[in-house]
Amino acid sequence: MYKFLFTLLNFFIVVNAPAQNTVEVPVPKQLTILRPKLVVGIVVDQMRWDYLYRYNSRYAADGGFKRLMSKGFSCENTFIPYTPTVTACGHAGIYTGSVPAIHGITGNDWWDYDLNKFVYCTQDDDIKTIGSNTTLGQMGPHNMLATTIGDELRLATNFKSKVIGIAIKDRSAILPGGHSANAAYWYDNKTGDWITSSYYLTQLPKWVTDLNAKKLVDKYYALDWNLLYPINTYDQSTPAAKGFTHPLKQLVGKNYGVIPATPFGNSFTLEMAMAAINGEQLGGGAATDMLTISLSSPDYIGHGYGPNSIEAEDGFLRLDKDLGDFLSFLDTKIGKGEYLVFLSADHGAAGVPAFMKEHKIPAGNFDNEKSGEEINKLLKEKTNINGLVIGILNYQVYLNRTAINNAKLNKDSIDKWVINYLLLQTGVERAFALEALNSTTLNAKIKEVLANGYYPKRSGDVQIILKPQWIDGFLTGGTTHGVWNPYDTHIPLLWYGWNVHAGVTNREVYMTDIAPTIASMLHVQMPSGSIGDVIEEVMK
């Protein structure tokens, strides 16, 4: 009976099927993926956010900063969400959208507990220099664990996109491009030439050798470093006691190591960037290309003279003109509205302690080297073992864990002795074992940035937090950076060009938001270690 009813039901369904209304399923339209011809990332090394406004009245109407601010989009409250705030971490953080705890770049240098030695962030002894006879090209990105937005762009286009990094500093050229970059070029201060490594190429392209043949550094040296304007107009600076004297002519053909510490280092870098665009025909193919540029000279100038120096002010006024010329070049070469630019910084800088104290603001210097020596003496007295402190860097004390284990010493006791010593030192606000970070009573914001910077195999054992306005080292002269305070972590972030509308947001965003925002704009996957969010306000 049931079999009969089932058969009858099927009969009626089949017979009546043609009589039913046919529902047409719409075929989805093919999505058109729009991308700019070229993405240009510009990182100004050691640029505090307030420099956008400190010198604003002196920036040229046709210069770079006013153009980016008036016709682009400014994220006014952009912060670095980790420590230490140094060059290598900053460049890795911008382009990976990540933090040292994930991408593994915990400083410019660190003690590597796996390798049992000090490591420079991009050092790679297994590769060779291309472009000179020095060892300055033995560099690569192997220590960085995550991908960059450049890597993801290359993957998304099946490696049709070109990605190239350029900077005076090797780490600032290498880390932004990522692992699959077509090339990275940096400066050999012994020869005055742009070089690369065998990680990327077997020989320099002709356009690079042609540029090197011009010996542009000598051209800049011949100009001397004179002020752009009359000295009495530099009212945002502390007057130089001996005036402004930076002759360079005597260095022509002799000393190529000084150019980075002058504004001409920026000009030199941007000339290299324009040569790369022409030589590699960046932005001229079917796939979007990426050029990462780091302008290293403000960092050298800041370390040498401090953020309130005439040198710093003149450096940024000259950089403004160079950026304006570079943007005009992009307009002509790539086309207005056809390229996407962002400008940010890898870190800021503290005021020079002597300058701050002169104006009744508490400040000071913490002597890393002396403290390390004294802690070693203390531990020798208690344990009868030499060299238990490997060093103090990145505001952390690195202990010899192997020696401690071999001697069967109590690690907690060693930590406590170090901490007790540090807490007695002038300028030290807090000191604690990094392993105990989660249980340490600490401001939540500070705890978060320290955790974001902690990668156990490359981080120290005891964290040092200095009082505000205190810096490590630099007992005379200029200043430095590396801590959680706003003068080191509040950085500019300007967007301009393709699919960017003019505007501003005061919402708090982070360095780690840059890469995922670019990924969203380009419709590519965000980098593998990215923890950032898309800044939706930027896009049209």
How far is Cα 375 from Cα 390, in angstroms, rounded to an integer? 10
Would the pTM count as exceeding 0.85?
yes
Known active-site residue 87 = yes
Residue 399 CB partners (closer than 8 Å, separation 6+): 388, 389, 390, 411, 414, 415, 418, 460, 461, 462
Beta-carbon count within 10 A of 5 CB: 9
Beta pairing partners, 166: 185, 293
Q: Please tell me the number of Cα atoms within 13 Å of 331 on its side-chain side.
A: 9
CA distance readout (Å), 142 to 114, 124, 282: 15, 8, 25
Question: Which of helix, strand or coil describes residue 430?
Answer: strand
Cα distance between residue 528 and residue 152, in whole Å: 9
pLDDT along the chain (540 residues), means of 10: 42 41 58 91 98 97 96 98 98 98 98 96 97 98 98 98 98 98 98 98 98 98 96 88 86 96 98 98 98 98 95 98 98 98 98 94 95 96 95 97 96 97 97 96 97 98 98 84 98 98 97 98 98 94
Q: Collect all residues with Cβ–Cβ distance below 8 Å to 493 and sequence separation of at least 6.
A: 74, 75, 78, 342, 343, 344, 509, 511, 514
pLDDT at site 25: 60
Strands 493-497 and 470-472: unpaired
Tell me if 294 sits within 8 A of 270, measured CB to CB: no
pLDDT of amino acid 7: 44
In the numeric block, the tokens 């910077």 are attached to 453
Distance CA 363, CA 446 (A): 20
Q: What is the C-alpha to C-alpha distance for residues 472 and 224, in angstroms, rounded to an integer?
A: 32
Specify the pLDDT at position 474. 78
Per-residue model confidence (pLDDT) at position 28: 61
CB 178 within 8 A of CB 529: no
112 exposed, middle or buried (CB, 10 Å; 0-12, 13-18, 19+)?
middle
* Closest among 194, 269, 191, 193 to 183, alpha carbons compared: 194
Kindly report, residue by residue over 301-356, the tens digit of the pLDDT. Answer: 999 999 999 999 999 999 999 999 999 999 999 999 999 999 999 999 999 999 99
For residue range 439-478, what is the model confidence (pLDDT) as tens digits?
A: 999 999 999 999 999 999 999 999 999 999 999 987 777 8
In the chain, the domains with their CATH numbers are 38-352+483-538 (3.40.720.10), 364-472 (3.30.1360.150)
H helices of 183-225, in order, are 206-213, 216-221
What is the arrangement of strands in the sheet containing 389-393, beginning at the earlier edge strand? 389-393, 396-399, 462-466, 428-433
pLDDT at 383: 96
- Catalytic residue (choose from 78, 87, 122, 157): 87
* CB neighbour list of residue 2: distance below 8 Å, 6 or more residues apart: none
